[in-house]
Every structure is written in C-alpha cells, then in structure tokens.
Amino acid sequence: MNTAALLGPYHADRVLAWESGHPMTYGRFLSDVGTLADLLPEKPTVINLAEDRYRFLIGFAAALVRGQTTLLPPSRAPGALAQIAREYSNSYCLVDGSEHVEQLPSYQIPKGTQNPTDSAKVPQIPVDHPAVVAFTSGSTGHPHPHSKTWGSLVAIARSTGARLGLKTSDQMTVVATVPHQHMYGLEASIMLPLQHGMAFHVGRPLFPEDVRLALAEVPSPRMLVTTPLHIRACVTARLRLPPVECILSATAPLSSSFAKQAETLFHTTVYEVYGFTEAGSLATRRTIDESIWHVLDGITLHQESAGCSLHAPYLRGPIPFPDLVSLQGPHRFVLHGRGTDLVNIGGHRGSLSDLSQKLNEIEGVQDGVFFLPDDTGASVTRLIAFAVAPGKAAEHILSALRAVIDPLFLPRPLHLVPRLPRNETGKLTREALLGLMQDLQKEERHGI
Amino acid sequence: MSDVSPLEMEVAKLIIRTLTLKVDPAQIQPEAPLFGDGLGLDSIDALELSLAISQSYGHQIRSDDPDTVATFASLRSLCQSIEKHRTK
C-alpha cells in the first residue's frame, strides 16, 4: 500500500504550535495524536469544530490514523451543520468548547499531555485515503461533496512549500487569520507547516491589533496566512508589525495597490494563492510583479473546446476551471474572472470580476464591485457598481474608469457606499448585492 | 432613547455608516447587544468597525483585552472603551 507520512521531517523537540508564548513540540503532538486515536469512536466520518488550531490538528490527525474522514462543513451556521449531519448521519463531532451539532454525539478534544513519549513513531497514512470532504454550494441548494485524498493534501503542501522556497531548516512559524476548517486554511495553516517541519500559532487573530500581537508571540521567521480583507485592515490601520518574511493571501483577488502597500509597510513579500474547492490550491503569483499565475509543480493546463482544465497526478481526472482563464502555455495562465461572471452588454462580452478588478485599481478606491441587476425590461440592462472610496467623488472614479473599460460597461449608476456586504469569507454574493441595491433605491425614494 | 450621551450618539452613527445598517441611530439601545441577537453583527462587521474606530478615535481594538467580550457587548460598553483608550 502506498503511504505518505503524517508529517515532514520529524524532530521530537522541534516546536509545532505556539499558544500564548508556550511551545508544544512535535514529540508531544505525536503522543497527543496516539492518545486521542485510541479514544475515538468507530465511525467513518467526523465533523471537527475545534477553534484552537492545535486541538483541531490533533483531532484531524487522530482521525487519519484511525482511517476516518474529516468533513469540512461550508459554514458553522447551525442549519449548515444540521444538513451535513443529516447526509452523514453515522458521524460524530470533535469540539474544544461548548459547540455541538444536533443528532450527532460530541467528544471533547483533550488539552493533551505534558509528557510526550520519546519513542513515538510517525504514522503512515495511505495516499488514497479520503482525508477530508469539502463542500461547494450546488445549484440544487444541497452542498456538493468533494473528497480529498491524503496524497493530494501532501502533494499540494509540498509543491506550495517548494514554490515559496520554504526550507525545513528555516523553522518558520505561521500565523493565520483564516479558519482551518476551510480548504485554504487547512492547506496553508495546517498541511504546509506539518509537511515542512514548521510551526503555527494556535489562534485565529481577527483585528489588526490581534494580528500584531499573535505575530509578536511567535519567533521569527514568520509567515502570515490571510485574506485581502485582513491585509486591507492591517494596511489601513498603519500597523507596525514584527518582521514577517512573507504574507500569503487567498479567497478573493488582492489588488496590486494593497499588495504594494503591505510589502512597503511590513517589509515583506506578498504572494497570492489561487485555487478552488474541486482542485485545491493550484497556482501562485507575487501580486506586485505580475498578473500571470504560475501553476504548482506537477500540474499541467489544457485548452479544450469547452474551456480550460487542469491535470495533476493526485487528481482522478482533468478538472475544468470554474473561472474564465486564458492559458499561456501548459504552466501559466491569466485569470479573467469567475465563470458565472460573464456578462453581455449590448453585444459586448465582459467579465464582472475583470471590471471589478479595474475598479479596485483606481486610486482612492478601497473596495469595489461590478454587478448586473436583474433584467428591468429596458432595452439594455446596464451594470451597477458599488465602490468604497472615502473622500472621492463618483465623477472622479467614473472618469478614471472611462479610461480603462469599454464605455458600455460604465456603471449606471456608480454608488459610493461606506462598505460592501462581504460575507464571512470575504465573498460578495449576488443576494447581498441585490439587497444593497434595493436598500439604496428605497433610500432614494424616501429622499434620505 | 433619553439617556444617551453625545459620544454614544456619535458612535451609533459611525456604526450605521460603517456597516451600512438600515436603522435609525436613535433605535440602537445603548445597553442592547451589538452582535448576535442584537444588531446581528458578525466578525467581518467587527473588523470593519474596529478600523473605523481606530481611524476616528485612535483606539486599536483587540480580542484578548481583559474587557474584550465587554468592548463589543453593547453601544455603551464600546463607548466606555473608546473613552478610556482614545487618542484623538
């Protein structure tokens, strides 16, 4: 049976996790995993809700050792958890607080032992074992499951580390603002450190000041795993961060302006990771340098009649891109926008993401989005844009936009708003944008 | 809303403006919870709000403050925290 080790190079005394300045070693980790694995119930699937990154990892690893699969619910909302619980009724929950999921038995992940055994052996996990199941929202309203093998998680962690030039000897420590129950969080804040002998901070800082404190609690060199939302917050707060070797951003496009500001302000290098649930992380770029994405080693891109797809040794078959991309050979591509973002205005085809990106590049625009409202019965339905641009007039932004986009795509109107209705992962849903538009129209009618 | 201080009124307006809430500032009860059952704000709202507060008052909010949970508990507790830490 083909297997891959639970972790990269193993040194029992090396630090894996930092909790309030207190180190927990790889040796202790293996001991904690062994202890918990013996206690887990005999069930195929587990929902691991632990908030503490170290305790989540003990639960995740113990499940792997027992041949179980960790389910990654799309959200922690009780309704979303209940739906997963109904579809995977022979599951149990691992928690580190008072959370629970209706209908499922819950088990506390213990705080762990203080006395690691020296003779711990690194567990080997079959590469084709379904380590996690992630979900995408399907058109039917049912979450659609995507099984990830242990081999794919390991391969992506190794190729991402190779791309970033991570060396085991660096002993870098990750501070992450993203939840480890999401694919990007799992890949970048759990798998990446685990496969490279690195460490992580157990917390999940939210406010800029939290980020600063979490970074200060861990030794250098440091890596910040985060999102455009948090980068914008840290840049706007003009934080003085402890030295950060590199910042990794994903979940939404980062504007090169914020990437540049972050690089200058924090004396760091900002990389973006691109991926989607079906394939996992698959490409990176240094945002300030270029718009071209470079796929991770082992991945090849193919142009097919229906669109572009990617191949990787750890994927069962070719996977189509859900987004609009154009290939620059088998290993590089340009991202033009989300596939569902294609619009046709008066016969001109454009991508909402592409337009939004151009809006975000305008000086003074902190956040912005283009949006196609429902058909109003007019001959041509025009795009609407929302922009967060304190101190800027709509006319100023429109004239800047006019310089870079087809006039047919100019928003009618451009609404200046204090904030966009982004959800927990920083995404803007169509529902939220429709709601914002309706609210603004109501205000106009009432003359507010 | 008879016992509302000028700062509370000012911060209520800041919250509404920052989070594009559709409520009248006078409707925010100073003692009512801002998150969860109250105004129903989430962690991203908290992040946005913390930025607005740091820009307006120079107070950097953080989660592990001893009186943290407290800070965002209500409009009143938020204003007390701003009053205590403000630099502008």
Secondary structure letter of residue B35 according to DSSP: B
What is the pLDDT confidence band of residue A139, given thresholds at 50, 70 and 90?
very low
What is the pLDDT confidence band of residue A120, given thresholds at 50, 70 and 90?
confident
Residues of A in contact with B19 (CB under 8 A): 418-419
What is the pLDDT confidence band of residue A413, given thresholds at 50, 70 and 90?
confident
Q: B62–A422: do the CB atoms touch at under 8 Å?
A: no
Q: Return the higher-pLDDT residue of A56 and A383.
A: A56
Contact A56, A181 (CB under 8 A): yes
**Which residue segment(s) compose the domain that A359 sits in?**
346-445
Residue B70 confidence (pLDDT) above 70: no
Q: What share of chain B is helix, strand, coil (3-state, %, to 5)?
A: 50, 5, 45
Residue A239 confidence (pLDDT) above 90: no
What is the pLDDT confidence band of residue A348, given thresholds at 50, 70 and 90?
low
Looking at the structure, tell me whether residues A326 and A196 fall in a common domain: yes
**Which residue segment(s) compose the domain that B65 sits in?**
6-85
DSSP strands (E only) in A150-250:
173-176, 199-201, 222-226, 246-249
Please give the average per-residue pLDDT across B46-69, as a whole number. Answer: 78
Looking at the structure, tell me whether residues A203 and A110 fall in a common domain: yes
Looking at the structure, tell me whether residues A303 and A352 fall in a common domain: no
Assess B50–A contact: CB distance below 8 Å, yes or no: yes
What is the pLDDT at residue B15?
86
Question: The tokens 């088998």 sit on which residue?
Answer: A330
Q: A209–B60: do the CB atoms touch at under 8 Å?
A: yes
pTM given for the model: 0.80
- Mutation site for B-interface testing, chosen from A209, A232, A434 by largest number of B Cβ within 10 Å: A209
Residue A447 confidence (pLDDT) above 60: no
Here the CATH number for the domain that contains residue B31 is 1.10.1200.10
Compare CB distances from A424 to B43, B48, B54 and report the shortest one's residue: B43
Helix/strand/coil for A274 = strand
Last residue of a domain, one of A312, A337, A362: A337
Looking at the structure, tell me whether residues A363 and A232 fall in a common domain: no
What is the pLDDT confidence band of residue A102, given thresholds at 50, 70 and 90?
confident
Provide the shortest C-alpha distance from residue B87 to chain A (in Å): 14
What is the pLDDT at residue A343?
73
Looking at the structure, tell me whether residues A133 and A269 fall in a common domain: yes
* Phi, psi dihedrals of residue A47, rounded to the nearest 5°: -100, 115
Of A163-177, A239-253, B14-28, the least confident:
B14-28
Contact A109, A55 (CB under 8 A): yes
- Mutation site for A-interface testing, chosen from B13, B23, B50 by largest number of A Cβ within 10 Å: B50
The closest of A258, A172, A162, A260 to A223, measured between CA atoms, is: A172
Contact A297, A255 (CB under 8 A): no
Please give the average per-residue pLDDT across B74-83, as a whole number. Answer: 89
Please give the average per-residue pLDDT across A374-386, as a whole number. Answer: 71
Residue A142 confidence (pLDDT) above 50: yes
* Phi, psi dihedrals of residue A82, rounded to the nearest 5°: -65, -35
Please give the average per-residue pLDDT across A67-82, as a whole number. Answer: 85
Q: B63–A436: do the CB atoms touch at under 8 Å?
A: no
The tens digit of pLDDT for each residue in A147-197 reads 999 999 999 999 999 999 998 888 899 999 998 998 999 999 999 999 999
Q: B60–A208: do the CB atoms touch at under 8 Å?
A: yes
Looking at the structure, tell me whether residues A309 and A352 fall in a common domain: no
- In this structure, the number of other CB atoms found within 10 A of the CB of residue A109 comes to 24
Contact A259, A270 (CB under 8 A): yes
Q: Is residue B52 part of a domain?
A: yes
Compare CB distances from B43 to A206, A418, A419 and report the shortest one's residue: A206
Share of chain A above pLDDT 70, in %: 92
Looking at the structure, tell me whether residues A8 and A102 fall in a common domain: yes
Secondary structure letter of residue A408 according to DSSP: G
Phi-psi sector, A447: left (phi>0), alpha (psi -120 to 50), beta: left
Q: A207–B42: do the CB atoms touch at under 8 Å?
A: no
Complex ipTM value = 0.80
Looking at the structure, tell me whether residues A379 and A396 fall in a common domain: yes
Contacts of A365 (CB under 8 A, 6+ apart): A359, A387, A388, A389, A392, A397
Provide the shortest C-alpha distance from residue B6 to chain A (in Å): 22
Spatial distance between the Cα atoms of A146 and A133, rounded to a whole number of angstroms: 5
| Count of structural domains within chain A | 2
Looking at the structure, tell me whether residues A322 and A365 fall in a common domain: no
Looking at the structure, tell me whether residues A333 and A350 fall in a common domain: no
Residues of A in contact with B48 (CB under 8 A): 419
Looking at the structure, tell me whether residues A311 and A395 fall in a common domain: no
Q: B54–A421: do the CB atoms touch at under 8 Å?
A: no
Here the CATH number for the domain that contains residue A99 is 3.40.50.12780
Q: Is residue B1 part of a domain?
A: no
Q: B44–A229: do the CB atoms touch at under 8 Å?
A: yes
What is the pLDDT at residue A138?
46
Here the CATH number for the domain that contains residue A439 is 3.30.300.30
Looking at the structure, tell me whether residues A286 and A378 fall in a common domain: no
- Mutation site for A-interface testing, chosen from B44, B61, B78 by largest number of A Cβ within 10 Å: B44
Identity of the amino acid at A218: V
| Count of structural domains within chain B | 1
Q: B44–A417: do the CB atoms touch at under 8 Å?
A: no
